[in-house]
Amino acid sequence: MALIPHIIGGEHVETAERTQPVFNPATGQPQHELAIASAATVEQAVAAAKAALPAWRKTSLTKRADVFFNLRQLLKQRTPELAAIVTSEHGKVLSDAAGEIARGLENVEFASGLLHLLKGERDEQVSTGVDVHSIKQPVGVVAAITPFNFPVMVPLWMIASAIACGNTVVLKPSERDPSASVFIAELFREAGLPDGVLNVVHGDKVAVDTLLDSRDVKAISFVGSTPIAKYIYERAAANGKRVQALGGAKNHMIVMPDADLNGAADAAVSAAYGSAGERCMAVSVVVAVGGVGDELVAKIAERMEKLKIGDGTDPASEMGPLITAEAKARVESYVAGAEAEGATVVVDGREAQFEGDGFFTGVSLLDHVKTDSKVYLEEIFGPVLAVVRVDTYEEGLQLINEHQFGNGTAIFTRDGGVARQFEFEVEAGMVGLNVPIPVPVGSFSFGGWKDSLFGDAHIYGPESIYFYTRSKVVTTRWPKPDQSRVDLGFPSNS
């Protein structure tokens, strides 16, 4: 089996102190071995990033922008190849993998506007003969630590802006589907990025902890589950680093009595079961308001029957397998426990039959879900949709606002007044008005509230420029030689 290498200073590094298999979730079989980095290998990658920093910092903005224009072309041309890599290691269907690449491209396009993004500000004559301007400079070596569920898009959320701002990067992708990151690093190189600006190390807690503790790493971007996000935030912050750590989610979709129920059911099914529910913006709870529950549940169940689940490389498949055998067992255990927690299991995904050893599970629908039950409170991260019934909009809103997570949320209604009120009152970072998966376009930033994000900066878009740069403010005076005098008073404006 081929060993997936680290990329350090532009070289493929095949240190195999430890290895672990990378599976094809559709067959359940290992297909590659992955080199798992020791602390020494990670330190080598950090050193390569540090060595590449001075030259990359000095590279003109137009030359940096060129890399992103080239990368955009390459990513477009090579999308089918990259999508196939994603499907073989993640399991999502090819069209979904191509969709993820297209959304990641938005971050490359945003980064290609870096001349505009890195502009400072200037004020003339703030005091007599005194001007002030600000500049944005890179923070240094940045570490990017990413989850399995978007092996192209989430790395691009981070590395595009980080590199555009003049930083150098060590990317630690998920060990479950690492090949996309290697492919992206190779495309960056082909696009003209100098060696050492983007390094990729594979690994687990050992690699992550080394990055969190390294004195040479100045900022950490992390996306993953909430317990790890919290850990990353606390350890990196204790080490004096800038950190943004995005965590898990439980995204609620409110359906008001005036909503188009066919449209709402289409949206709920698409957003709950797309990518087998392994999206941090998946809808996992539908809140049926004011008596729409029976009709809505029937419409959702009817649509679920028609879903085609199978190997992601089959164009007929709409949903692929879960990422691992453990993920399948975990998701199915929530469905198994749902009835005892008071829910009605309308569709039981465990009953679906699949051939072979792939990590497939069927789609599940749970109705009358209690808000103190595990299936409601915890992130399941699989194709399980919970329906909660409430009488009023206010009750639905309260559920969302009291939940631990606050990533995305949506409301389906035709009443603009209610939609506006929801936008104003809801405690979540990303809101959809008749949009079930409101992932912001690349010119805005992405991030949740509450336990869905630790740190203050959201990811990609304008907030990424703030996160990946340090500002410097320069005060200037050009007095004539005979105009100075000693003055021990505090400088004030005149």
Q: Note the residues at the interface with ligand NAD (CB under 6 A).
A: 145-150, 154, 172, 174-175, 204-205, 208, 223-225, 228, 246-249, 280, 379, 381, 407, 448, 452
**384: Cα separation from own chain's centroid:** 21
- Any idea what the Cα angle at residue 1 is, between residues 146 and 100, rounded to 5°? 30
> Closest separation between CB of residue 323 and ligand NAD, Å?
7
Which DSSP letter does residue 129 get?
Answer: T
Return the number of the residue (293 or 321) whose C-beta is nearest ligand NAD.
Answer: 321
- Count, residues in the chain: 494
In the three-class reduction of DSSP (H, G, I as helix; E, B as strand; rest coil), residue 436 is classed as coil
Question: Closer CB to ligand NAD, residue 145 or residue 169?
Answer: 145
Cα 191 to the chain's mean position, in Å?
24
* 280 carries an active-site annotation: yes
Of 191 and 375, CB closest to ligand NAD: 375
| Minimum distance of ligand NAD from residue 463's CB (angstroms) | 13
Q: Which two tokens stand for residue 264?
A: 């709402």
Of 282 and 292, which CB lies nearer to ligand NAD in the complex structure? Answer: 282
How many whole angstroms separate alpha carbon 150 and alpha carbon 107?
14
93 vs 249, which CB is nearer to ligand NAD? 249
Instruction: Give Cα separations from 230 to 223, 243, 407, 443 (angstroms).
Output: 11, 11, 15, 27
Scan for tokens 């509450």, then name that residue: 450
By beta-carbon proximity to ligand NAD, the closer residue of 277 and 362 is: 277
Residue least distant from ligand NAD (Cβ) = 224
**94 contacts: CB under 8 Å, gap ≥ 6:** 83, 84, 87, 312, 313, 315
Nearest Cα residue to 265 out of 306, 224, 232, 308: 306
> What does DSSP assign to residue 359?
-
Closest approach of ligand NAD to the CB of residue 218, in Å: 19
CB of 157 to ligand NAD, least distance (A): 8
- Residue 257 phi/psi, 5° resolution? -60, -25
Q: How many CA atoms lie within 13 A of 182 on its CB side?
A: 21
Please give the DSSP secondary-structure letter assigned to residue 318: S
Q: How far is the CB of 173 from ligand NAD (least distance, A)?
A: 6
How far apart are the C-alpha atoms of 410 and 430, rounded to whole Å? Answer: 8
Phi, psi (rounded to 5 degrees) for 41 = -65, -40
Question: Which listed residue (46, 139, 145, 280) is catalytic?
Answer: 280
Read off the DSSP letter of residue 257. Answer: T
- State in angstroms the smallest separation of the CB of 379 from ligand NAD: 5
Contact 288, 388 (CB under 8 A): yes
The structure tokens 């004096």 sit at 240
| Minimum gap (Å) between residue 478 Cβ and ligand NAD | 48
CB of 155 or CB of 362, closer to ligand NAD: 155
CA distance 67 to 195: 13
Active site residues: 280
